[in-house]
Chain A
């Protein structure tokens, strides 16, 4: 297990280095001057020159790369050109919303998808199964921004249980903050839970037809015991893969939902930075997102090994 972990850590580091090189190359090295790009076509040459100096673009690419990576490691992400404040501060502020929102949405996803998927698999072909399949199909098909607007209409405008958008900040107390994130989390979780429930169902159905389930029944286990003790853990392997992908998506891909609910999250930050050509912010946020995705994949790999002993012993 230790050996496996060390190997996964090694590949994690390698992925980070490659990702940082690719991002740096895309933004700073490929033809085109970042400074004149940031300032637009009507910029004065001396303004561009000043910005080049400020961004350190006159130095050799490898020096700039080392300086950039060195900054990333020490938490110095540079200063945003549009916000005129340190990128690290902006990112931390935004992450304080995006990360809890992603975790919240993923928890809802899992809490709904597992029981629903298991229920449908154990009652294959029944009315329960058919309605689960129909509902989840609908859940995948409905655009989540539309669903979000619908929820705003029902729960905020009519019932007045929630506010229609915005975020009071964590200073307003955890209940208030969680409440503000609830509708966005549900909107994000709906399609994800639908997908995950379907994956759980089909994976469990595959596992239930395996020979070792028959062995378990021949030992005298009831159908339910065989499911709980033998089928579930084996069925988790494809489910974990999907959960990993979903978390990465939820962290960075919530732009539309953040816009619907006026949440100042990471997705909106990237979106604004791109439209304002604030390359320093784009570069850093992309790197942070890559970092998050790689970490999540690493955790998924560890979870695989926890579930499946065959992976642990493979050297």
Chain B
């Protein structure tokens, strides 16, 4: 018997059709993966099953959960279904928990509203559930608040909330996208264990082929509100027939052609750099304790090279980036670009530019593209000419006429092209790409990686590519720096580091990274 059966589901929001005839089913004890790029409708499919859709939504077709027709349920029936029969885990563990309530309270609430037990019973049940999610009471008492936990620990709390009542179906919407690779591996194995122990059905939604194929039994590939292909996960890479699925696979493992790049001479030198942060005083007039965010880091980047800097959140890579950009003082060591110190000769900073992760947040929405792109010219004390703006836009594959538009008129990938154009316009030598492709869909990501390689050849650019994504860094970087707890624990040529990692941390990182079947 199927647990979740979605048949011919159509959804429109304020009259705009979003889902077009989705059919999907999950059996008990089965993990069903739903793969798709942003806007493919995978999250809305999940929210349709929960009937937690945004205002103005109109659902038709059939959704049954354990034989009950969801679309004909009244709101009170839906409330007693949600949380008890179906649990849901969301993408963003940092915001999915109420910041002013303890974790015990938040887990116990699921039990209290459905079971009508006493508060003490609910709390002890919550403690057991948290322990099952590997948050034992000895280390994570019930009275902890969400802000006292890390992202991975918070995601365990969210999972505990979802499974507290042993639901038949668990829906996990991008449960590991916001987490580091090693944490991701732990959360995925936790989900697998819970499914095996409880015989739940799991609907795992992700944009990441490797994550889904590694865990799921069946996969559904979604595109533009439709399921375009359904396969067994293990054999997907062999059996796939739909061109979109093939394109996704190609894009996920995309290797830009880097044969033309020329490497010579030293450009950036980071010598024994350390950066301390002051922590709040422990006593009223005591000295500030310090935290060493970057610890005796040294490396060199040669002209024309693409160097990858990998590490998990909190390892110090952002601090190091800001120090290289001259935005943050260092306590020890020296950073030179082209032989000139970035702190004492700030003029040299015009030779480097940065591209950030968020293609939505890093632009002023009230300025036109021409003004956004010419921003770096304030360093040169002159305005950008129209020709310069046009050339920058053309070089990243946009049209010169795009300069009259506003940023909201562009897609995520196009915005990232504009960010690259902005970095390119004053002809820097070094471009720092800080998680620059992390928020993009795989097909867009592949295009941007190709663009970066082309630009590096055309303009003789050097890249420092900062990311947590090992697949990306492997496809583009010549050399890799692995950062852990403020230190560079390993550096070497990309292939050598991937084939024969010397440091234990690097090995752990590589093991945890989900891999596509080959």
Contact = CB atoms under 8 A, between A and B. Distances in A.
B145 A313 contact: yes
B109 A219 contact: yes
B148 A313 contact: yes
A45 interface: no
A229 B98 CA distance: 10
A84 interface: no
A220 B79 CA distance: 4
A228 to B, nearest CB: 12
A161 interface: no
Interface stretch (B21-29, B87-95, B119-127, B489-497): B87-95
Interface in A290-315: 307-310, 313-315
B149 to A, nearest CB: 12
Contacts of B101: 230
Contact of B98 (A217, A234, A313, A315): A234
B52 interface: yes
A220 B76 CA distance: 9
A215 B96 contact: yes
Query: Secondary structure of the B side of the interface?
Result: mixed
A162 to B, nearest CB: 42
B380 interface: no
B99 interface: yes
Contacts of B82: 217-220
Contacts of A212: 95-99
Query: Secondary structure of the A side of the interface?
Result: helix
Contacts of A46: none
Most chain B CB within 10 A, of A219, A221, A222, is at A219
B75 A222 contact: yes
B79 A214 contact: no
A315 B280 contact: yes
Contacts of A315: 280, 282
B228 interface: no
A160 interface: no
A230 B110 CA distance: 13
Given A220-B110, A225-B113, A310 B81 contact: no
A171 interface: no
Interface string B43-86: 00000001010000000000000000000000110011111100
A220 B280 contact: no
B114 interface: yes
Contacts of B282: 315
B453 interface: no
Contact of B79 (A221, A229, A230, A310): A221
15 contacts: A211-B92, A211-B95, A214-B96, A215-B88, A215-B161, A216-B98, A218-B90, A219-B83, A220-B84, A220-B114, A221-B109, A222-B79, A234-B100, A307-B100, A309-B100
Interface of A: 210-212, 214-222, 225, 229-230, 233-234, 307-310, 313-315
Given A216-B109, A218-B88, A234-B98, 4 more contacts: A211-B96, A215-B90, A216-B98, A220-B113
Q: Sorted from nearest, which 8 A-B pairs have the closest CB atoms?
A: A220-B83, A219-B83, A211-B95, A218-B88, A220-B82, A212-B98, A309-B145, A219-B110
